[in-house]
Structure 1
Amino acid sequence: MTFQEELIKIGQDIEANSGMIATDIQREFKRNYDGHFTKISEANVEEEIAILIQIFADGLQLEDGDQALERIHSWGERFGKRAAEIELSAEKAMLVVPVMRKELYRFIRSRFKEERHQFADYYTMADRLNPLIDGAIYSFTRAYTTTNEAVFEKAQKEIMELSVPVVPLTAETAILPVIGSIDTKRAEELMNQSLERSRELQLSTMIIDLSGVHMIDTYVAQNLYQLHEALRITGVTVVFSGMRPELAQTIVSLGIRFDDLTIVSSLQQALHQAGLKLQE
């Protein structure tokens, strides 16, 4: 029997016993790590392991290793994304790998012993199998990380949007209360949300209240000026309110001139400037 024929025979044996091997892996994992997944059932875990083992078995039977790696990557992309979406513990998922490798090789060694294959072929076979196992780890980890990053970025975007609330006061007037510090991302969001919401609401006036801003520097001042200019170009009159004395002093000390901006000290004055007044 040639070495390729030996690989095909071992691959067929693994494929025929994939369910049993998956069960052994699950049992050994629970015994070694007291591993219990809460986000996915044991049956689903065993099913995914069995699918992966079947792909390994096919990889031993195929002379073209690239074809097997493509299937491995497809599995890793699918299961890694699913694991991230259901918040399955990546640490626990990775702990399964050494157990899987150990149980898989235990099965292979038993077949080598029964079939009396050449001992040197065992290492050649390992050179075929190990890249498949490593490929599964890489594909799963990459998909898991990419999905988590996408979820995190979406959450960050939603939080950022909530930190830039444009609140309509009348059909043509809205207020944008700015609270806290302004960094690069928030400055971009201030610009984007202000322009988008003013277009959606068809505003003629926007009050930007700065009473919640505790520190202002050159960068913040420049971004506020750019925000004013962008809104002005789109036909929206901007009124800045809540400019506390210490902020005004900082602006003056920085040499920034706001001569062409409408700035009032209080929200009440800003509403009056916009033709509105608070009910007493």
Structure 2
Amino acid sequence: MTKMSLVADHFMKHSDQLAVEIVEDVIQQMDLKIPEWEKQQAIQMYKEFMGYLGKDLMNKLGGVPEELLAWSKDNGERGAASGGRISEIVVRYPPTRNSFSNIVTSLSQVYELSVEESVFLLSRINWLLDLSLNETLFAFERLSDEIEKETQKELAELSAPVVPIKEGVAVLPLIGSMDSYRAHHILENVIPRIAEEKVNYLIADFSGLYNIDLDIARYLFQIENVLRLLGITTIITGLRPKLAQTAVLGGIDLTSIKTFATVKQAVENID
């Protein structure tokens, strides 16, 4: 066997020991306090990494190891699904490289590697770590974006309920901070539902809104135009002075829309 084959065999046969060594070293370098389950998870991850590294060196693959990419993707998705931060992943790579450098130095002495062989080994490890880090970050961001979109969708649905209060009359309470996603959700999803429920009057209550800009205000007041075309009368309540001023300064015509201070007053004035 060549010297590099012996090193590759070492990585595969001693993956458990090397994984523990790296995890312990990283914990010490960063002065981390982590639960035992997380430590064991990290050990398992590096054990698998050692296996990929050994096979890569043994077979002189040279290309991108698909198994490593799949492993890294799983790591990234696991971090995103657990609610972790991307910085928690990135910050551990520099001390991990230091640990691998120490291992390479030790193995170079044991197997009497030449300088060129030692440099190649370290370069190959760093290349695999870079591949792993990139795929981990991409997977983390992809799943995080999916989770954020799903959460945003759920929040939009929960924050814009249509509440029937009597026959032909419903209230649309607008709560919290209004952004373009929520405004679009109301226009695309809530309005059709209102039409299906045979509502004659919709009371759009703005009293719970605490943040809105001109673009969003225009978006929201488009609701009245759409509902009017559907034969539904829109009544606005809880319109704060600042929001009313934003609408007027933006050229939004409020004169055609009935407004009241409270939902109670609006209901009392519906024929």
Normalising by the smaller structure, the TM-score range is 0.7 to 0.9
Identical counterparts, % of pairs: 24
CA distances 1:47-84 after superposition (whole Å, capped 9, x unpaired): 1110112111122123332242x222211110111122
The equivalent position to 2:53 in structure 1, one of 56, 64, 72, is 56
Q: Find the counterpart in structure 1 of residue 16 from structure 2.
A: 19
**In 2: Cα distance, 1:244 partner to 1:47 partner:** 57
Q: Find the counterpart in structure 1 of residue 4 from structure 2.
A: 7
**In 2: Cα distance, 1:216 partner to 1:88 partner:** 30
Q: Find the counterpart in structure 2 of residue 278 from structure 1.
A: none
What stretches of structure 2 of length at least 5 have no aligned partner? none
**Pair 1:122-2:154 in alignment:** no
Q: Which amino acid aligns with 1:111?
A: L
Q: Find the counterpart in structure 2 of residue 43 from structure 1.
A: 40
Q: Which amino acid aligns with 1:23?
A: V
Aligned alpha-carbon RMSD (Å):
3.4
Q: Find the counterpart in structure 2 of residue 151 from structure 1.
A: 147
Counterparts in 2 of 1:28 and 1:225: CA distance versus 1, 3 Å = closer
CA distances 1:155-182 after superposition (whole Å, capped 9, x unpaired): 3443344432322213542101335664
**In 1: Cα distance, 2:162 partner to 2:182 partner:** 14
**In 2: Cα distance, 1:220 partner to 1:43 partner:** 49
**In 2: Cα distance, 1:89 partner to 1:231 partner:** 43
Q: Which amino acid aligns with 1:74?
A: A
Q: Find the counterpart in structure 1 of residue 67 from structure 2.
A: 71
CA distances 1:224-266 after superposition (whole Å, capped 9, x unpaired): 4311122233443322334567866776666544455444565
Structure with greater Cα Rg: 1
Counterparts in 2 of 1:243 and 1:152: CA distance versus 1, 3 Å = closer
Q: Secondary structure at the match of 2:68?
A: helix
Q: Secondary structure at the match of 2:34?
A: coil
Q: Find the counterpart in structure 1 of residue 174 from structure 2.
A: 178
Q: Secondary structure at the match of 2:35?
A: coil
**Taking structure 2 as the reference length, what is the TM-score of the superposition?**
0.80
Q: Tell me how far 1:218 sits from its aligned partner.
A: 5.7
User: Could you tell me whether the CA contact under 8 Å between 2:69 and 2:132 is conserved in 1?
Assistant: yes
**Taking structure 1 as the reference length, what is the TM-score of the superposition?**
0.78
